[in-house]
A and B are shown apart, each in its own frame.
Chain A
Amino acid sequence: MERNPDAVELRLHLAELLLADGRYAEALSHCSNALTQDATNAAALTLLQRCSAALSAPSGENATFNWSAAEEQVADIIEPAFVDDGDGSPDVENEHDADVLAPSDIKLADVAGMEDVKARLEISLLGPIRNPELMRAYKVSARGGLLLYGPPGCGKTFFAKAVSGELEANFYPVGISDVLQRWLGGSEKAVHDIFEVARRNAPCVLFFDEVDALGMRRTNMRGDSGHRTVVNALLAETDPATSDNTGVYVMGATNAPWDVDSALRRPGRFDRVIFVGLPDSDARAAIVRFHLRERPVAGIDLKAIAARTDGFSGADLAHICDTATQLAMADSVRSGQVRPISMTDINAAMDQIRPSAGEWFDIARNVVEFGNRDGTYDDLAKYMRRKRFR
């Protein structure tokens, strides 16, 4: 190799041998060198992937390390890594339920910023549930569902998981494809089964995503839509007079609460709504940190990014991180040297990406102007005034 450094085939053969010998870093270096000479060499790219995979896998030494013995040694000092049968962990009734239920270990404290939303969740849901005596004293009920709404990609699902974590309840996320069935009566049965699973595994946060599609206004549906029955089934399952949902906390998320059937917004159903706006500065910094956490980075100024991304949704920020990563990767492939993601890449990505929530706020503006006579969207109106969206 020293005599003929440009021989790509030879270099790749050497890399293969080094890889087989477990000398991954050296093999990686040869792969990078080969790619410098021919960036499209498929064999080099395959080898590079194998090297990267091998490097990220646990080493032989680690594999033989006795973790159980080590855990026992330090059991008095640190908490166990995983709790299998802890008291706080919700029980799952049967194996099938375990497939759909996901205990959440996220707490509200894990959500950076967004203090308004946390406070509203505390007041309207968590506080009453944690203080049953107070509820009895004030003659209030925690029954009924909570609907989180706001622009897309702003962490509504994450908040629902955090609520689940706070309540130490099972988390049962339900999407529209879980409900819609082709056959007559199938969708109603699916809704019933979902509630049965949640009841069986109480305490459980039953989280319906995209409620606007699932429980859309019946006037929005086409005449031949078999979807009407889904709304009726949802109404029946959430009717406090006919269904005992003790321990089942029904939550929903939607981008368009104004398109949700009004019957689903009546007392006992999704009767409380909380607006989840665009991430604030702290939240934006945390989101960027989260999306870059397992990537090679250097010199990332989170404060500067947060300052420049006012008006961006969580999804937009993820897009920025992905784009910056691609830029750094493309540069690495060109140069043959692995280079960490830097502020230059982030800035270039921010120049390319525009906030995506504008369209949502256009509709929200119409709602605030024409459809807020009862004050349902006062929070949204205040937010839009504060952010100068109106």
Chain B
Amino acid sequence: MTSDPDINSAEAISLANTYADARNYRRAEEVLRSALVHDPHNAGLLTELARAQHLRGDNAAAEKSARDALAITPDDAYAMRIYASILFELRRRREGLSWARRAVDAAPYDHLTHYEYARLLATAGDAAAALPVATEALRLAPASADAHDLMGVVYGMLGRRSESTAEHEEALRLEPGHARAVANIAVNRANSRNLAGALAGFTEAGRLDPHIGDDVRKSITATVRQWLSWTTVAAWAALWLIGQIERNNDGPTTTSGARVIAGLAFVVLVVMFGWLARSLPRNLWGPILRQREFRSLKIYLGLGVVVLGVLGAFAVGALVNFWVLAGTLLATVVVSWVAPRFDKDWLDKVRLDKH
């Protein structure tokens, strides 16, 4: 019973789509291939085969299948759309955009052709061109969660963050389990320096859809790095200043006020680290710190410098100018909070991956 009997093309496509929805692309491909044995020139089967191969990551094979399909039905907008996506993945972006445009012309009332064209434009970084296309997709399918999510991505790229978040939230309202919308809201939070909210969002997105776990892990890594990088830079600056003062000072000048400020800076730093630690589930710290981005000695050196600076405020106070030390430690906190973001580019890129 479990083996597939000789099924006709329509049934094969239906079955393959079910497997593709379940992300079992290999099985989808098998079903389509066995149907193609009996009906080798069926454009529908070839197009679906191209889609399954594309989703599986075999874009070279997918390109051939899509070309075969288009040779049989050159006006099929669906085949054009699949072909465009494949070419884009093969880094033939100009051709991909051209085919996506042709698909729009061939089926101007199909929201998916507009959606795909807008998605490719946004992925190519042309948010301004993507905006009207995404708007048209949304006009044709106002109840499509994916269309709202894409609109949010385009707004986000244009810096219209509140509109972007509103679109992602609308996508979530329409489809509560839309993991990518959750992740995209988290990207907006990270870019608004709401790092705790961003981390919670990314973690939730990973829970909703484990298939995007790699992207989620990288986004969390980027967020944590964003926090740590500037702390590290500021801490290095503090250490350098301490060194300068130590070299130029004739003798130690300590005051109780300096100690209070240094102590305050220490407490704020500890709170910030504690807050960061609490924002991320404990079991994720190991995997995050094992990411390639954290295999950098300078980050750990930087953290060490923070500790040294704090210790300097209390234990080796006799050696440094405490007013300067306290000020630089406070600056560490301030800089880490308000500094621009190293990882913004990465976070923006994550919005579009594998939409």
Interface, chain A (partner B; CB < 8 A): 100, 157, 172-178, 180, 182, 209-210, 212-213, 216-217, 219-223, 225, 227, 255-256, 258-259, 362-367, 369-371, 373, 390
Contact = CB atoms under 8 A, between A and B. Distances in A.
Contact of B18 (A180, A219, A370): A180
Given A220-B22, A221-B21, A223-B144, A175 B213 contact: no
Contacts of B10: 182
Given A180-B18, A369-B283, A371-B207, A212 B24 contact: yes
Contacts of A256: 22-24
Contacts of A220: 21-23
B274 interface: no
B1 A178 contact: yes
Interface stretch (B157-165, B171-179, B228-236): B171-179
Contacts of B11: 177, 180, 182
12 contacts: A175-B4, A177-B4, A177-B7, A178-B1, A216-B18, A216-B22, A219-B176, A225-B18, A259-B22, A369-B206, A369-B283, A371-B207
Given A175-B3, A227-B18, A363 B210 contact: yes
B203 interface: yes
A259 B18 CA distance: 13
B207 A370 contact: yes
B123 interface: no
B214 A100 contact: no
A180 B11 CA distance: 9
State the 7 A-B residue pairs at the shortest beta-carbon distance, nearest first: A366-B213, A370-B206, A175-B2, A219-B177, A366-B210, A213-B22, A367-B210
A200 to B, nearest CB: 16
A100 B11 CA distance: 21
Contacts of A222: 17, 21
A213 B206 CA distance: 21
B310 to A, nearest CB: 32
B14 interface: yes
A103 B5 CA distance: 21
A258 B22 CA distance: 11
A237 B110 CA distance: 37
Interface string B195-207: 0000000010011
B19 interface: yes
A103 to B, nearest CB: 14
B1 A175 contact: yes
A163 B7 CA distance: 31
A369 B4 contact: no
Given A219-B177, A370-B206, A212 B213 contact: no
B216 interface: yes
B14 A182 contact: yes
A178 B144 contact: no
A214 B2 CA distance: 12
Contacts of B23: 220, 256, 259
A365 B11 CA distance: 34
Nearest to A217: B177
A13 to B, nearest CB: 37
B178 A216 contact: no
A65 B200 CA distance: 76
B339 interface: no
Interface string B1-35: 11111010011001101110111100100000000
B177 A258 contact: no
Given A178-B1, A180-B15, A373-B207, A363 B22 contact: no
A210 B178 CA distance: 23
B284 interface: yes
A370 B21 CA distance: 22
Name which of A174, A176, A370 has the most chain B CB atoms within 10 A of its CB: A370
A178 B18 CA distance: 13
Interface in B281-309: 283-284, 287
Nearest to A363: B210
A363 B211 contact: yes
Given A177-B15, A362-B214, A370-B206, 7 more contacts: A173-B2, A176-B19, A177-B2, A223-B144, A256-B24, A363-B210, A369-B206
Contacts of B214: 362, 366
A180 B14 contact: yes
A219 to B, nearest CB: 4
B213 A370 contact: yes
